[in-house]
Structure 1
Amino acid sequence: MKRLIALFFTSILMLALVLTGCGKTSDNVNENTNKKTEAPAANQESQFLFTANEGGSISKISVKDQKVISTLKVDGAVHNVQVSPDGKVVAATVVPEMMHGHDDSMEMKGKAIFIDSNTDKVLKEVEVGNHPAHIVFTENGKYALVTNNEDNNVSIIDTKKYVIVQTIPTGKGPHGFRISKDSQYSYVANMGENSVSILNLESMKEEKKIEVGTTPVTTGITDDNKTLVVTLNQENALAIVDLATNKVDKVKVGNGPAQVYIQQDNQFAYVANQGTEDSPSHSLSKVDLKTKQVVATIETGKGSHGVVTSPDNKLSYVTNMFEDTVSIIDNAQNKVIKTIQVGNTPNGISITP
């Protein structure tokens, strides 16, 4: 199953890249005083983490107990996972199982699955495009968007009816993305052409593209919609883009960066450095978005890929693809405080609000 990782990206990038992969919610800002307020404390009794495991499962982790409490088996490789804004639904993208000796298996349609976050019951499965990568809900909960990596487009799913209502063309090889807090724009990293597509979710069209650098994997967007961050896998860098001017600054991070996540107060961006399966990286870069500098490099497990922070900004959680674990990181100490064993080849990760 781990070889699925290499096949996935070889087909879209046409280069020797072994990478799979690629989480930001909201920040509380008082617009009148321009002072940031601390995010409300989450109820850990009912708070969960979910990991998308390429080996064919979704792991559900109790935040309070810091352990896996259930595992949902899935037919296919689960590439990405995302919790809805109200915390009631978990959505995941699933790539069909590769069939040995059948080249046409690469053309099999993928699917998005929607799961009740409390009962683990599958609510609906929706067929999307070829090799779906990431799935993200709009903040208003109206839509779930899926990037179809081989089809060069995004499926827009109505979350009440669970049907595709629109398909928006993007650049080549769309992969990771984030949606603005006002639910109006989606920022899609196009791995195959070194750009980010900005999609207008009112007109349902690509509004423009921004050139950001080599092999962009995924994005993050600040709550004021002014600063875009993009992991550049082949440059070992995080691009920081001023959306008013399209000026791109690059910050060197670890080897083979995959996912990036902006914590709730918009102060830091956390970059998971994966490397490759043959030469895995094992670190998390903590980038100050004001100074545009790495302020801490945190040792994690092999193949750090997915990353998310807790609603109160106190903890970060990182999936380690090549050792099937999740690292729990204390953000004040900048160190791992616990490691949890999960399903095979954990990729994306998401947390209930």
Structure 2
Amino acid sequence: MFKFRFKLLLASSLALALNVALAAPVGTVYTANERDSSISQVRLDTGVVKTLTLNIAPHNLQISADGRWLLVVGMPAHAEHQTGAISAGELLVFSTAALDKPAFSLPAGQHPAHVVTDLSGQRAFVSDSAANLVRVFDLQARTQLGTVKTGSFPHGLRLSPDGKKLYVANMRSGSVSVIDTATLKETAQIAVGNGPVQVGFAPDGRQAYVSLSAENKLGIIDTETQRLIGKVAVGRTPIQMYATADGRQVYVANQGSSSQPDDRVSVVDPQTLSVVATLDTGKGAHGVAISSDGAYVFVSNIEAGTFSVIDTASRTVVASHKVGAGPNGISYQVPE
């Protein structure tokens, strides 16, 4: 059953008080609301929020590289995401032109965690934490192409800027798997530290980043040597991160715990390996996405049920949007 809920929030209630005039962000943000089994779509120019109830509890979502699809992964609505439940998870694929119901769905293993597409938007990669592998799907043929073995309990994954490598954070083996997207083979495992949750890349692809949730640090990886070259202390339980378009800043969301949520985003300079700013967003800062021009960063706040909008030029939180309960994954779509 797929049901829509609509909310229209006035811009004045969304925007935070500012002393300077800022250009309003445009485009659309989507959140995966795991705690009430829904996804939310927010039009940034109007503040209109559309929430769709799903038959899964979505943990992550992603707009395809070509902008055609919204991909959502999760477990059945009453399964336990954290335990690798026996019930099969699903990959739901929505047309971004018609969000009322999925265009199609595919079985995605016992514990699908994250999803990304290749640069063409034709193939999808889904981490299956319970099976210690990444599943590869052909979206045009609507079928699974194969699987790639990883380390233990793969979670977050992201594609390199040139599309040739897929990096996967293996939470229980303290490593990052490097997958060749042409051969669909794991070519390396990089030892990084304790509790890697998600990865990211510098825009030029020379560095990769990994959140070390059990160390409260961001790891920096040299992608040419495939070695960890440094760590930066951030907030409590860092989860996701994203680099700005110029590569000078990496925004890291610090979630904390459910009983003691963190509500901060650390802004890291990857060259000096230092935190240059700390911003207050909302309780349980988790997911991170960025606008196509790099002007805004979007952070989902799992305990607050919101996402925050950060202006990267001023390093200021400029707006907050209410979405469904427990927003985890977050993705940005450019204006139509």
User: How many angstroms apart in 2 are the aligned matches of 1:72 and 1:198?
Assistant: 35
Residue aligning to 2:87: 108
Q: How many residues align?
A: 307
User: How many angstroms apart in 1 are the aligned matches of 2:245 and 2:95?
Assistant: 25
Among 68, 77, 82, the alignment partner of 2:57 is 77
**Structure 1 spans left out of the alignment, 5+ residues:** 1-40
CA 1:42–1:81: 2 relative to 1, 3 Å: farther
Among 119, 139, 161, the alignment partner of 1:139 is 119
Among 329, 332, 336, the alignment partner of 2:310 is 329
Q: Secondary structure at the match of 2:148?
A: strand
Residue aligning to 1:195: 175
- Measured after TM superposition, the shift of residue 222 of structure 1 is 2.3
Is the 1:197–1:210 contact (alpha carbons within 8 Å) kept by the matching residues of 2?
Answer: yes
Counterpart check, 1:263 vs 2:251: no
Among 290, 295, 300, the alignment partner of 1:319 is 300
Residue aligning to 2:44: 63
CA 1:99–1:177: 2 relative to 1, 3 Å: closer
Q: How does 1:166-185 map to 2 (within 5 A)?
A: 166-185=146-165
User: How many angstroms apart in 2 are the aligned matches of 1:250 and 1:43?
Assistant: 32
Is the 1:286–1:296 contact (alpha carbons within 8 Å) kept by the matching residues of 2?
Answer: yes
Residue aligning to 1:27: none
Is the 1:212–1:248 contact (alpha carbons within 8 Å) kept by the matching residues of 2?
Answer: no
User: How many angstroms apart in 2 are the aligned matches of 1:265 and 1:115?
Assistant: 31
Residue aligning to 1:281: 262
- Measured after TM superposition, the shift of residue 179 of structure 1 is 0.6
Amino acid at match of 1:119: A
User: How many angstroms apart in 2 are the aligned matches of 1:317 and 1:67?
Assistant: 16
User: How many angstroms apart in 1 are the aligned matches of 2:79 and 2:263?
Assistant: 31
User: How many angstroms apart in 2 are the aligned matches of 1:52 and 1:80?
Assistant: 6
Residue aligning to 2:199: 219
- Measured after TM superposition, the shift of residue 43 of structure 1 is 9.5
Q: TM-score, normalised by structure 1?
A: 0.83
Among 53, 65, 70, the alignment partner of 1:90 is 70
Amino acid at match of 1:107: I
Using CA pairs under 8 Å that are at least 6 residues apart, name the structure with larger relative contact order, 1 or 2: 1
- Measured after TM superposition, the shift of residue 99 of structure 1 is 5.5
Percent identity (aligned)? 37
Amino acid at match of 1:237: K
Counterpart check, 1:158 vs 2:147: no
CA deviation map 1:85-115 (0-9, x unaligned): 1212100102113369xxx981111011111
- Measured after TM superposition, the shift of residue 73 of structure 1 is 1.0
Residue aligning to 1:340: 321
Counterpart check, 1:118 vs 2:92: no
- Measured after TM superposition, the shift of residue 117 of structure 1 is 1.3
Q: Secondary structure at the match of 1:323?
A: coil
- Measured after TM superposition, the shift of residue 332 of structure 1 is 2.0
Residue aligning to 2:184: 204
Counterpart check, 1:250 vs 2:235: no
Is the 2:203–2:243 contact (alpha carbons within 8 Å) kept by the matching residues of 1?
Answer: no
- Measured after TM superposition, the shift of residue 248 of structure 1 is 2.4
Q: Secondary structure at the match of 2:214?
A: helix
User: How many angstroms apart in 1 are the aligned matches of 2:62 and 2:47?
Assistant: 19
Amino acid at match of 2:94: I
CA 1:287–1:66: 2 relative to 1, 3 Å: farther
Amino acid at match of 1:154: V
CA 1:214–1:107: 2 relative to 1, 3 Å: same
CA 1:95–1:52: 2 relative to 1, 3 Å: same
Q: Secondary structure at the match of 1:231?
A: strand
CA deviation map 1:210-253 (0-9, x unaligned): 00010000000224332110000011000001123314200011
Counterpart check, 1:234 vs 2:217: no
Residue aligning to 1:31: none
CA 1:99–1:111: 2 relative to 1, 3 Å: closer
User: How many angstroms apart in 1 are the aligned matches of 2:157 and 2:280?
Assistant: 25
Counterpart check, 1:52 vs 2:32: yes
CA RMSD of aligned residues (A): 1.9
User: How many angstroms apart in 1 are the aligned matches of 2:182 and 2:79?
Assistant: 39
Q: Secondary structure at the match of 2:78?
A: coil
Is the 2:84–2:111 contact (alpha carbons within 8 Å) kept by the matching residues of 1?
Answer: no
CA 1:99–1:319: 2 relative to 1, 3 Å: closer
Higher mean C-alpha deviation, range 134-143 or range 339-348: 134-143
